[in-house]
Amino acid sequence: MNPMLDMRILREDPDGVAVRLQRRDPSIDLGPLLEADDRRRALLRQVEDLRRKKNEGSEQVGRLQAEGRAQEAEAAVEQMRQTASELKGAEQKLATVESQVQKLLLALPNIPLDEVPDGEEDEKVVLRTWGEPRPADFEPRHHVDLARQLGLLDMERGASLAGSRFPLYTGTGAMLEMALVMWMFDFQVREHGYTALLPPFLANSTSMQVSGQIPKFEDDLYYCERDGLYLIPTAESLLVNLHRGEIISADDLPLRYAAYTPCFRREAGSYGEEQRGLIRVHQFNKVELFHYEVPERSSEALSDLLYHAERVLQELGLHYRVTLLTAQDLAQQAAKTVDLEVWLPGQGRYYEVSSCSDCGTFQARRGNIRYRVASGGKPRFVSTLNGSGLATSRLFAALLEQGQREDGTVELPSVMQERLGREAIE
């Protein structure tokens, strides 16, 4: 596995890289990594010297034996054995230090792009809004209350089946959930030309490491110890590994995939009343969008990705806003992230339903995913981008809360009316 960050850049400009990384986390210290890398390079030189000395000794033994100089050959053999012992010890030390360097590199996040603002997690920048909240002369209800009244969700039975925060969709609620998944999947493939995928719902440790989920966020994952597999927190974990270890022709880029999967997240911690229901659950459905791109087009590709995700909300007629995350709020693999946040009138606030991220070459380095231009030359790492297109749980909540009427019924957007064969949920 390759370094996540270019070690050459870390060596050449350690202070500059440290300053940029500390925008994400002021506690980041590159000192231990650079010291370990110095030891690794010194040991590597020692190993190379000993290997050369061993090879030369082997040639000398052969020459002395051929010349019939048995006593000198025996002394050379003894010297070669000593060299081999020294080599074995140096190789063991090198393997230990290389493992240490790798571990330290795995813990480092991606370097944020210059246009990413500084700030705490709650200091995101609102870039724009779309639509307006629907005027209402009644007190909007929470989606849990609407869903209970209309028989769309049974959170209590879901909890008895699996545990708290595992929703059970019932009746029309189940039909609406599946309609959303199928429509979004079909929409991205037909309207925006994505290649459709239905991947596994579990991933091995290599896939999770390439995507950036482990080792740093391993405690947030559901793990099947007997099989050594993880329930995926997002299809990104799989899609970034589709071309792991490959060299892609530049003529084939960009590659754009849309995948449906359920997603599983521990979401550890306690949450307030405003996050009950479908706001923070352990299992939800999502259509994920993923791009492989040449690095020079990363910025344009992120704009494309964001537009494709926004189209879903616009087709559903939902009021939302677009926000740019600060450096401290970025996921480990992201260099820049733009969120789509849908309005929930029953709670009087916005919630994220899609995060669209440019990861640069960070994941490609982990997975050794490269491309070669038509003119030849050394292969280069691709850029990877990902975004939800979209996640259904909060989207389901937004449809109920934004579409609610005073009598407790819910008006459906036209695209869902066609799928469900009804204008409203009553």
User: Cβ distance 423 to 412 under 8 Å?
Assistant: yes
Q: Return the DSSP state at 415.
A: H
If pLDDT is split at 50, 70 and 90, which confidence band does 412 have? very high
| pLDDT over 70 percentage in the chain | 97
Residue 132 confidence (pLDDT) above 70: yes
- 224 forms beta bridges with 229
What is the distance between the alpha carbons of residues 193 and 311, in angstroms, rounded to a whole number? Answer: 14
What domains can be seen in the chain, in order of their start residue?
7-107 (1.10.287.40), 125-425 (3.30.930.10)
Quick: pLDDT tens for 268-282.
Answer: 655 565 568 999 999
Ramachandran area for residue 9 (φ above 0: left; ψ -120 to 50: alpha; else beta)? alpha
Quick: pLDDT tens for 173-227.
Answer: 999 999 999 999 999 999 999 999 999 999 999 999 999 988 888 889 999 999 9
Q: What is the end-to-end Cα distance of the chain in Å, rounded?
A: 55
Quick: pLDDT tens for 39-87.
Answer: 999 999 999 998 888 888 788 877 878 777 777 777 877 888 888 888 8
What is the distance between the alpha carbons of residues 106 and 102, in angstroms, rounded to a whole number? Answer: 6
Strands 320-324 and 336-344: antiparallel
What average pLDDT score do residues 381-405 get? 96
What is the distance between the alpha carbons of residues 21 and 177, in angstroms, rounded to a whole number? Answer: 40
Residues designated catalytic: 265, 280, 352, 355, 394
What is the distance between the alpha carbons of residues 350 and 335, in angstroms, rounded to a whole number? Answer: 23
User: Cβ distance 257 to 242 under 8 Å?
Assistant: yes
What is the distance between the alpha carbons of residues 172 and 170, in angstroms, rounded to a whole number? Answer: 6
Chain mean pLDDT for the chain: 92
pTM of the predicted structure, to 2 decimals = 0.91
If pLDDT is split at 50, 70 and 90, which confidence band does 1 have? very low
H/E stretch holding 68 reads none
pLDDT of residue 271: 59
What average pLDDT score do residues 330-347 get? 96
